[in-house]
Amino acid sequence: MAGRLAGSRAARELARRMGFMGSFRAGLSNVGGGPSLPVEICRRDAGGVSPCISSRVTARPGGEFPRGKVAFVAEMEFLAELLKERINCYRVLDDDGRTISGSSFKEVSKEMALEMYSGMVTLQTMDTIFYEAQRQGRISFYLTTIGEEAINIASAAALTMDDVVFPQYREPGILLWRGFTLQEFANQCFGNKYDYGKGRQMPIHYGSNKLNYFTVSSPIATQIPHAVGAAYSLKMEGKQACAVTYFGDGGTSEGDFHAALNFAAVMEVPVIFFCRNNGWAISTPTSEQFRSDGAVVRGQAYGIRSIRIDGNDALAVYSAVHAAREMAISESRPILIEALTYRVGHHSTSDDSTKYRPVHEIEHWRTARDPISRYRKWVQRNGWWSDENETELRKNVKKELMNAIQISERAEKPPLSELFTDVYDVPTSNLREQEALLRQTIQRHREDYPPDVPL
């Protein structure tokens, strides 16, 4: 059942049906609404350990403490470390690309659907070709987004250009959606003079002020608190926009994650925290990353409305981000989305994941659980796409990429002066001095320096 929804009240309705934790429950006083989940409690007698039993605690007259009123109880009961069941996962399409009966989702037009589909294919093709280029020694490094194309493209499609993005590094699809060209991607990977980053960082560290996509940096999770500060700015400006930040399961272990969520809740800012739970942080599986039920339950710990979704379902991602954005902006609140997925590729070109996970597991996710073929089935069943379209698209994208790589490879590097700019807004005296000394050294030893960096 398709839900045709518009407006923030409708978005809330959709959110309710999608099962956002913490929406529409006026149960617990002073806690801004909590879900009506059965509370699993362990009773501990004087003697020892009793088995956990489910119960509802009857409220008694309470007392005031700094945060407000709480009900007192005579029984000593500990909240269980885990709920009886894991938090449910929202999906729209089944594994065969059919809409699940009773599912609610934000409808997409044919044009939007095709744009999303071709975005996913383009991203996958770009990854394959750039990965190969690294293997051939043409670029120094690369990391792919294979398996997470739905997360990348569908979430981007649900945002507007005014929404400010703070990526980790596995989200180039957002940039692609927003109009970053294959040539621009190639320029950054080759670090040539057209790279907006001026050759300073490794490949895949893209950024674009124009497209509201903050430049990627390697350290994990540092971008998360940035997004919160940026969201506060948007709120103060009264803009109809939010901040969105992406990170992996590993990123949720960093201190920055916790600081950011707490700040966002207290400051009441319009930010979407998008966790790509792809099962692996280099070689570390999620079982060694946390013992909570994934990332989604942590939202509630900070007073943040959250949802768990099937990250390999393009329509689910699209709908959830759309709803999250509406709530974030209209209610000025943070939202946490945990998208379950799988990192099909190795962590990067410096990694061989067959060393720590079974090949059959990787192959299963590459094929049976591939988000692109799943979405393709839905698009084709609607009569919007054909095998001929597919072949044509892949051929054209590949050609464009090969061309872009050739052009990037031949282009000059940025000039030497850019080594010293942007440390500050203008170079300081010590930098000017160092530049002068360096130029003298180069004059004396020109042959020691790469010829493709103009002086």
- What is the contact surface with another protein in residues (CB under 8 A)? 140, 191, 198-202, 217-221, 250-251, 253-256, 281-284, 288-290, 350-351, 355-356, 413-414, 416, 418-420, 423, 430-431, 434, 438, 441-442, 444-445, 448-450, 453
DSSP 400-432: HHHHHHHHHHHSPPPPGGGGTTTSSSS--HHHH
CB of 187 to another protein, least distance (A): 12
Q: Which is nearer to another protein, 179 or 358 (CB)?
A: 358
353 is catalytic: no
Which residue out of 81, 132, 392, 433 is catalytically annotated?
Answer: 132
Q: Which is nearer to another protein, 155 or 348 (CB)?
A: 348
Q: Compute the residue count for the chain.
A: 455
Q: Which is nearer to another protein, 169 or 302 (CB)?
A: 169
13 is catalytic: no
CA–CA distance from 38 to each of 122, 291, 317, 406, 414 (Å)?
45, 20, 27, 60, 60
How far apart CA 280 and CA 343 sit, in angstroms, is: 7
Residue 346: CA count within 13 A, CB half-sphere: 13
Q: Closest by alpha carbon to 190, among 201, 179, 181, 178? A: 201
Q: Which is nearer to another protein, 290 or 384 (CB)?
A: 290
Which residue out of 155, 348, 353, 408 is catalytically annotated?
Answer: 348
HEC states along 67-131?
A: CEEEECCCCCEEECCCCCCCCCCECCECCCCCECCCCCCECCCHHHHHHHHHHHHHHHHHHHHHH
386 is catalytic: no
Which residue out of 103, 319, 347, 408 is catalytically annotated?
Answer: 347
Number of neighbours of residue 360 by Cβ within 10 angstroms: 7
Q: Which is nearer to another protein, 118 or 192 (CB)?
A: 192
Q: Which is nearer to another protein, 111 or 448 (CB)?
A: 448
Q: Which is nearer to another protein, 350 or 406 (CB)?
A: 350
CB of 216 to another protein, least distance (A): 10
CB of 132 to another protein, least distance (A): 21
Environment class of 156 (CB within 10 Å of its CB; exposed 0-12, middle 13-18, buried 19+):
buried
CB within 8 A of 250, min separation 6: which ones? 220, 281, 282, 284, 289
How far apart CA 346 and CA 360 sit, in angstroms, is: 14
CB of 278 to another protein, least distance (A): 13
CA–CA distance from 351 to each of 138, 142, 143, 239, 326 (Å)?
18, 11, 10, 42, 39
CB of 262 to another protein, least distance (A): 15
Which residue out of 55, 218, 283, 417 is catalytically annotated?
Answer: 218
Cβ atoms of 277 and 339 within 8 Å: the answer is: yes
CB of 274 to another protein, least distance (A): 17
CB of 261 to another protein, least distance (A): 15
How far apart CA 363 and CA 143 sit, in angstroms, is: 18
Q: Which is nearer to another protein, 217 or 330 (CB)?
A: 217
347 is catalytic: yes
Q: Closest by alpha carbon to 57, among 21, 28, 23? A: 28
Output DSSP code: residue 213. Answer: B
CB of 350 to another protein, least distance (A): 7
Q: Which is nearer to another protein, 96 or 288 (CB)?
A: 288
How far apart CA 315 and CA 292 sit, in angstroms, is: 27
Q: Closest by alpha carbon to 237, among 327, 303, 164, 160? A: 164
Q: Which residues are catalytic?
A: 132, 218, 347-348
